[in-house]
Amino acid sequence: MIFVLAIFVGLFSARYLVSWLIIILTTVAVAFLLLGYVVMASTEKTFLIIAFPVEASLLSVVRHHILDWSIVSGRESDAKRLIGHYDLNVKLQTYYNASKFYEDGLRKIKRYPDMNIWVNAELISWEHHQQVEENHPQYHAKLLREIAKILKETRLKSEFIYYTGDGKFLILSPRVTDEMHKELDEQVYIALQKLDTGIPLMLKVATQSVDLQNCEKFSDLDKLLKHLERGLETDIIVEYLKDDQND
């Protein structure tokens, strides 16, 4: 009975309750076995007195260590998942979420062929950002935040902005017309020109519209990004150099 009680208390009671039960029950056991008249050998009495507190304490420690480990392990997994899905510096979702959104867009394009659904994809890349990151990592992070802020302020709410890493921003725009897209790009260009970087800043852009006609060619985000990255080699949207750096 004592062992069963110790198991129940150790595994299912809070730590403070375990402590109080050990004190109370041990006191009762000492009073009953040592001060009362019980026909039993002294070693057996001692064993009965210490059995409950020792077993309950050990089980409580084991339970809480396992519980703490599982909580920490779960939080670590959540943190890794958050870092993988969200860039904390620029406060934008990353490749994983972009891929999921793009896959959902492709499914809708194929499911409703008569609705003329399309997705415009635009990749903006900060060229040679690695040099700045290597020499001035904090300033590099600040510039990425500034670029992200401009994109958030100038693009439509219906557009989705992602940071895919390596100085690249991906914008997925469901059903935004070419005219609207050009106007938005112009607004981004104007805002970037006003950005006080203090260093030469070159941004390249490549765009691609995905619809029912070419959705099989760009059947996943990897294929689309590779196509856009090849386009980066030919189209420069911003090459910004402060005037005082030319003096």
pLDDT tens digits, one per residue of 122-180: 999 998 899 989 988 999 999 999 999 999 999 999 999 999 999 999 999 998 887 88
Of 163 and 39, more confident: 163
- Mean pLDDT for the chain overall: 77
Q: Taking a C-beta distance cutoff of 8 angstroms, is the pair 137, 218 a contact?
A: no
Q: What is the pLDDT of residue 229?
A: 92
Grade residue 243 by pLDDT with cuts at 50, 70 and 90: very low
Instruction: State the residue for tokens 């019980």.
Output: 38
CA 127, 128, 133, 135 dihedral sign is: negative
Of 58 and 146, more confident: 146
Grade residue 106 by pLDDT with cuts at 50, 70 and 90: very high
Of 107-111, 131-135, 160-164, 235-239, least confident by mean pLDDT is 235-239
Grade residue 39 by pLDDT with cuts at 50, 70 and 90: low
Q: Is 18 exposed, middle or buried (0-12, 13-18, 19+ CB in 10 A)?
A: buried
Which range has the top average pLDDT, 161-175, 177-191, 224-238?
Answer: 161-175
Q: What is the pLDDT of residue 101?
A: 96
Evaluate if residue 184 carries a pLDDT over 70: yes
Q: What is the pLDDT of residue 7?
A: 54
Q: What is the pLDDT of residue 74?
A: 56
**Which whole number is the average pLDDT over 20-33?**
61
Cα gap 70→131, rounded to integer Å: 41
CA 229, 121, 199, 93 dihedral sign is: negative
Chain mean position to CA 43: 59
**Which whole number is the average pLDDT over 56-67?**
63
Evaluate if residue 97 carries a pLDDT over 60: yes
Cα gap 95→66, rounded to integer Å: 35
- Reduced to 3 states (helix: H, G, I; strand: E, B; else coil), residue 203 is strand
Q: For residue 7, give every residue at least 6 positions away whose Cβ sits within 8 Å of its Cβ, in sequence order, or none.
A: 55, 59
Q: What is the pLDDT of residue 150?
A: 94
Grade residue 57 by pLDDT with cuts at 50, 70 and 90: low
